Structure 1
Amino acid sequence: MNHLKMNSPQALEAPALAKRRAGLKWLALTGIGLAVAWPAAQAQQGDWPNKPVRVVIPFSSGGATDLLGRALGNELGKIWKQSVVIDNRTGAGGAVAAELVAKAPADGYTLLLASGSMFTVNPHLYAKLPYSLQSFELIGKTASGPMVVTINSAVPANNFKEFVAYAKANPGKLNMASAGNGSQVHIAGEAFAQASGIDVTHVPYKGEGPAYADLMGGAVQMAVGNINAISPLLKSGRVKALAVTGRERSGLMPEVPTVAEAGLPNFEFTGWFALVAPAGTPKALTAKIYADIQQAMEQPGMKRYLAEQGMLASVMGPAQLTDDITRESARWKELVAVRKITAN
């Protein structure tokens, strides 16, 4: 048998060849990994979206968030050349939808159209929430609009002052509908009741649609609803608008005074909506989506929709949105404590 001596050229060459072969194998495997990872990164940012995008709505169909989501989704779908699927997930003041999106892959294909109350009210209302502000990447605020103080037509009041007087004469006898505990409709109603000094019973629903159906039917007597969801119902004659909560009168119903004009100086409440993504979504991707929101809001169809719904484009980025959330959160924390509002 032929044996190699330890210091022979062949003996020295064997380990070197093995090491070289191992290095080539590592490079080959790494190359395969890069070949897979690079297109994935490109798909997340450069080629995004290459499949339908889901926008989760935290309330039932027919409400303000749902209506805005469908209009915005239609315009974004045109920009992205992909379908935008609206997915209504109701419950717990938006917490069900928020948890779903927070746990979704951070790839931009599952987004949440949140109402402001989900970040400014719910943390003070629920002992435990399955999400927090840190569960999301804030993309940007989209639109805002005033609320409308409305009553069922059977209530014996023809204007704001008459209604407040009637409510004070009948403490605890009037039911106030909302889109759910902690919703913007809920907190707007509580803020109005606190400012006007009336005692009403809160009745939460799983969205504005069912709440307003009962308002029209007379099962509840009042609601302070988002203008885009409540305004179409006024034509039925079964619901009356008493005042709008904005700083100025709405062009949608110029004959209706503001709450401040009607007798509560300095009262103002504006509902707003923002698009967010799961935490960890690449900043380059959220920046692209924000730019696309800006573009969508400038489209004639979107401008027409907002005007017809009495809303305004209120596009702002993550930094300013965070400041708004911080400021409003402090305001609603105080109201929740004063009114002893609970999620039960």
Structure 2
Amino acid sequence: MRRRTALALTLLPAMARAQGAWPSRPIRLVVPFAPGGTTDVVGRIVAEKLGARLGQPVIVENRAGAGATIGAQLVARAEPDGLVLLVSSSTSHGVSPALYPNIPYDALRDFTHVGMIARSPSVLLVNPASPVRNLADFAAAARAAGEVRFAVAGIGTSSHLAGVRLAMALGVRTESIPYRGAGPALTDLMGGVVPAMMDSLPSSGPHVRAGSLRALAVSGAERADGFAELPTLREGGLDVVSYAWFGISGPAGLPAPIVDRLSAELRAVLTDPATRARLEELGGAPPDTTPESYTAFIRDELAAFAPLVRAAGLQPQ
């Protein structure tokens, strides 16, 4: 018995070192959208802080296309070693599973969901040279034309659905102009190529503050932190409440010690005052999160988005 006890005590440091060796190499954080969009902005904020805490760089890798399914599929098929992670979102794990009939992954079964980073309302945007000065102007112009033309960061993105819901509330048609991410769409909006856009505040907020975009309203249930001057769509008489959300996920089968470490470090990043202030400034207040709560949240969102996609008659492009 004494020999077994001594052997166990001898092995404990080695076991601790093996468990604590992760991550032994830089981590790839896949963002399934083009650079410059909300998912990219949020991912890069967290990547920098998470890498500092983990002792290895967290390198953002943009894999855009097909409603975020290309990047999500890459992570779903990766080795469950904690070295390839995903910025999962309301697009990749809410809308796209309802939109694409042959989606190459199961949003629950094929992933280990670690935690939510942020939840952010969309904002209705126009070019600052537009004669549309406020939400009432926008509603009047849309009803007079019988339609709204929106740039969208991809068919089936949460901001796209927010625009569809806004058009439905106005009683007009929607003409969606798809882009490969919010960054290119915002560029064209600022250049006057497209007339309007619904986008999440983390990517468009800096442009609004700089005066290169005009914000008319937000889609949250309340006014957004940092943008209290903007009314909600509900305040403008339109019954629309919509959010985009973002989190960290890995392949199915991530070992429990890695999940526990990632979850703890993510919570530490999100409670860091500077990080929290940065995300709140962009309109995306970080919630208290756990792997269990994030998984349950995604399950609920999957059930909520499916009927909305059907009602809007969306088709993948």
Please indicate, yes or no, whether the TM-score normalized by the shorter chain is above 0.5.
yes
> Is 1:272 matched with 2:276?
no
Contact 1:156 1:163 in 2 (8 A): no
SS in 2 for 1:163: helix
Residue in structure 2 matching 1:305, options 278, 293, 311? 278
Q: Note the alpha carbon deviations across 1:64-109, whole angstroms, 9 max, x for none.
A: 1111111101111111111111101100011110111111111000
Extract structure 1 runs of 4+ deviating beyond 6 A. 39-42
Q: Do the aligned residues in 2 keep the contact of 1:117 with 1:183 (CA within 8 Å)?
A: yes
In 2, the alpha carbon distance for the partners of 1:74 and 1:292 equals 12
Tell me what 1:111 maps to.
85
Larger CA Rg, structure 1 vs 2 = 1
Distance 1:273 1:315, change over 3 A: farther
SS in 2 for 1:254: coil
Distance in 2 of aligned mates of 1:323 and 1:194: 29
1:179 aligned to 149, 153, 158, which one? Answer: 153
1:319, distance to aligned residue in structure 2 (A): 2.6
Secondary structure at the aligned position of 2:275 is classed as helix
The residue number in structure 2 matching 1:137 is 112
Contact 2:263 2:291 in 1 (8 A): no
Q: Report the Cα distance in structure 1 between the residues aligned to 2:233 and 2:85, rounded to whole angstroms.
A: 35
Report the CA distance shift for 1:91/1:254 in structure 2 as closer, same or farther (over 3 A): same
Number of matched pairs: 305
Please state whether the residue corresponding to 1:147 is helix, strand or coil: strand
One-letter identity of the residue aligned with 1:317:
T
For 1:187, the aligned partner's letter is: L
Query: Cα deviations across residues 137-163 of structure 1 (Å, max 9, x unaligned)?
Result: 111111111110112234432211221
The aligned counterpart of 1:148 is 123
Correspondence for 2:266: 293
- The alpha carbon displacement at 1:40 in A equals 10
Q: CA deviation at 1:339?
A: 1.4
Q: Residue 224 of structure 2 aligns with which residue?
A: 250
Look up the match of 1:165: 140
2:48 corresponds to 1:88? no
Normalized per residue, the structure richer in helix is: 1
Q: Larger deviation: 98-107 or 179-188?
A: 179-188
- The residue number in structure 1 matching 2:301 is 328
Per the alignment, residue 73 of structure 1 pairs with 47
Instruction: Classify 1:123/1:40 alpha carbon distance in 2 versus 1 (closer, same or farther; 3 Å).
Output: farther
Q: Percent identity?
A: 36
Q: Distance in 2 between matches of 1:252 and 1:94?
A: 28
Give the CA deviation at 1:310.
Answer: 2.0
For 1:191, what is the secondary structure of its paired residue?
Answer: helix
Query: Which amino acid is the alignment partner of residue 282 of structure 1?
Result: P
In structure 2, distance between residues paired with 1:304 and 1:125: 34
RMSD: 2.1
Is the Cα contact below 8 Å between 1:135 and 1:279 reproduced in 2? Answer: yes
Distance 2:304 2:80 in 1: 31
CA distance in 2, matches of 1:199, 1:100: 35
Return the match for 2:30 from 21, 35, 56: 56
Alpha-carbon spacing, 1:262–1:73, altered in 2? closer, same or farther (3 Å): same
The code of the aligned residue for 1:124 comes to A
Q: Which amino acid aligns with 1:87?
A: E
User: Aligned equivalents of 2:68 and 2:281: distance in 1?
Assistant: 26
Q: Judge conservation of contact 1:49–1:82 (CA < 8 Å) in 2.
A: yes
Amino acid at match of 2:128: S
Q: Is the 8 A contact 1:136 1:277 kept in 2?
A: yes
3-state DSSP class of the match of 2:216? strand
2:255 corresponds to = 282
Q: What TM-score, normalized to structure 1?
A: 0.83
Q: Does 1:202 align with 2:176?
A: yes
- What is aligned with 2:167? 193
Classify the secondary structure of the residue corresponding to 2:217.
strand
Mapped contact 1:58–1:94 kept (Cα < 8 A):
yes
Q: Return the offset for 1:272.
A: 0.8
Partner amino acid, structure 2, of 1:333? A
In structure 2, the gaps of 5 or more residues are 1-10
Is 1:231 the equivalent of 2:205? yes
CA contact (8 A) 1:125 1:336 kept: yes
CA gap 1:197/1:215 in 2 versus in 1, 3 angstroms: same
Tell me, yes or no, if structure 1 residue 259 matches structure 2 residue 233: yes
Residues 158 and 291 (structure 1), Cα distance of their counterparts in 2 relative to 1, 3 Å cut:
same
Partner of 1:46: 20
